[in-house]
Amino acid sequence: MDKTEKKIVELIEKDRDRLIAFADDIYNHAELGYKEFRTSRKIREFFESCSLKTRNELAITGVKGYLNQGKKDVFSLALLGEMDALRIPNHAHANPETGAAHCCGHHAQLAGLVGAALALSDPEVAKQLDGQVIFFAVPAEEYGEVEFKNSLKAEGKIAYGGGKCELIRIGEFDEIDACLAHHTSPLGIELGSGSNNGFVSKVIELKGRAAHAAGAPENGINALSAATLGLSALALNRETFRDQDSVRVHPILTKGGDLVNVVPNRTVLETLVRAKTLDAIRDAAAKTDRSFMAGALALGAGYEISTMPGYLPALPQAFPEELAEMVRELTDHPVSIVDPGFHSGGSTDVGDVQHLMPVYTFRTGGITGSHHQSDFDVIDREETYILTAKIFAVSAYRLLKEKAALARREREAYRPVFSSREEYVSFMNQFDSVKKGDYSNESA
C-alpha cells in the first residue's frame, strides 16, 4: 500500500468508534423504503461534518455528498449505500415504531459510506484523487409495500418503486461514470457479482359484493374465494415455468375481508413476478394475470391488476484485479472471487444501474443468520463496518489516482445495455399498466 492508502486506513481506524456508533444507531432505528427520513438526516449531518456539499430529498429521501467537484470532468465515481430496511418486527433490533429491521445489512453499507467520506475528505487525501467522488445514500432497494409505493406514484412523487430506478429516471445518475456497491454475506469477503433475477410488481384487487355471511350468502360475491381460486390457478401454472428461467412468483394477501360475518367484497394481493430474462418475466406475468382473472370470472367478481416496473436482471460484473489485490492487503480473512456464472433468484436495483454503467460490488462478512430473517445479526463489527469503509475508500483512491487511469480504462471497456437515461425510461415504462374487468353482471 502506498502512503495515501496507509493514511486512509489510519483515518478510518482513528474514528472507528464513531463509525461503529453510527452504524449501531442506524441498526436500531431502521426505516422502510421512501420513509427513511431519520436515516437521511443522520447521513446528511455526517457528510456536512466532513465539509461536503450536500443535496437531499432526492427521490424523496436520497442524499448526495460531493467531494472534488472541480475534477468531475476527469471522472465521477459514486459510492452507493442503501438506506431502507425490511418489515421484520420480531427481530432483536427492530424499530418499535416502524417494525423495520436491517436484516439485509444496509446499515453496514451506510457505515462504509460515511467512513469513506470521513477519510477521503481529508485535504491531503482529497488532493490525490483525480476525479469527483459522490457519496450517494439511496432509498428503497427492498421492494415491499407495493400498495404504498403505488400511492406515491398516484400522488406524482415517484414513478418507480425502486430507489435507484427512480433516481435514474430523474437524472441523478447522469453525472456519474461508475459506481462502487457493497453487500453483507454469510460467506465472508467476496468480490464481483453474478447475475440476479429481474421482476415486475403487481397489486391485484378482486371486487365482490358484501352480504350477510350466514343469513344471505347467496346475495354476495366472495372476493376472498376469487382470490383463493386465483392462487390455485397460479400454483397450477408453476409447472409451465422453465427451470433455466429461475421464475419466482410469491404473492401475499394484504386484505382478505373486514368482518367474519360479512361476505368479503374486496381482497388485495401484492406480488413480485421474478425471472432471469425479460421474456420469462413477461410470460410469468401474463400467467399471473390470467390466474386471477380466472378466479374473478369463476365467482362473478371484478378485478383490477396494476403492474409497475420493478428491477431489471442484474448483470455479471468482475471486480478489477487492482482492487482485489488491495482488498487482500487490507485483511487476513479469506477473499473469494464470485463466479460470473453464478445466478441468484433474488433481485436488486443495482442491476438497473448496471444497464447504464459499471458497478463494482464487494461483500464483507461478520454476520450470522440469514438475510431477510429474524436471526440475522452482526457479530464482527470490525469486518462488517470498518473493513467495509476501508474497501470503499481505498478502492475509490485506486480508481481515481494518476488521472483516474484505472477508472477510465474500466469505463471505456464497459458496454452498457442502454446508451441513455431516456432509453432506459422508455424501456421501463412498457411494464406500467392497469387491467380492469367486471364479471358480476354476466349471466350464469
Over range 381-397, report the average pLDDT: 98
For residues 421 and 278, the answer to whether their CB atoms sit within 8 Å is no
pLDDT at 32: 97
Q: How far, in Å, CA of 424 to CA of 170, rounded?
A: 12
Q: How far, in Å, CA of 129 to CA of 292, rounded?
A: 55
Q: How far, in Å, CA of 351 to CA of 237, rounded?
A: 28
- pLDDT digits over 87-126, tens only? 999 999 999 998 999 999 999 999 999 999 999 999 999 9
- pLDDT digits over 145-193, tens only? 888 998 999 999 999 999 999 999 999 999 999 999 999 999 999 999 9
Q: Within 13 Å, how many C-alpha atoms sit on residue 216's CB side? A: 6
Over range 325-353, report the average pLDDT: 95
- pLDDT digits over 257-306, tens only? 999 999 999 999 999 999 999 999 999 999 999 999 999 999 999 999 99
User: Which residue from 322, 388, 393, 392 is spatially nearest to 125, judged by alpha carbons?
Assistant: 393
pTM across the whole model: 0.92
For residues 62 and 121, the answer to whether their CB atoms sit within 8 Å is no
- pLDDT digits over 38-77, tens only? 999 999 999 999 999 999 999 999 999 999 999 999 999 9
Helix or strand holding residue 380 (H, E): none
Burial class (CB in 10 A: 0-12, 13-18, 19+), 111: buried
With a pLDDT cut of 70, the percent of the chain lying above it is 100
Residue 177, φ and ψ in degrees, nearest 5: -100, -30
- pLDDT higher than threshold 60 for residue 444: no
Helix (H, G, I), strand (E, B) or coil at 206: strand
pLDDT band at 26 (very low <50, low <70, confident <90, very high): very high
Q: How far, in Å, CA of 126 to CA of 129, rounded?
A: 5
Q: How far, in Å, CA of 363 to CA of 384, rounded?
A: 9
With a pLDDT cut of 90, the percent of the chain lying above it is 97
Question: What are the CB-based long-range contacts (under 8 Å, 24+) for 48-51?
Answer: 50/117, 50/118, 50/121, 51/121
pLDDT at 146: 84
Average pLDDT for the chain:
96
pLDDT band at 356 (very low <50, low <70, confident <90, very high): very high
- pLDDT higher than threshold 60 for residue 443: no
- pLDDT higher than threshold 70 for residue 417: yes
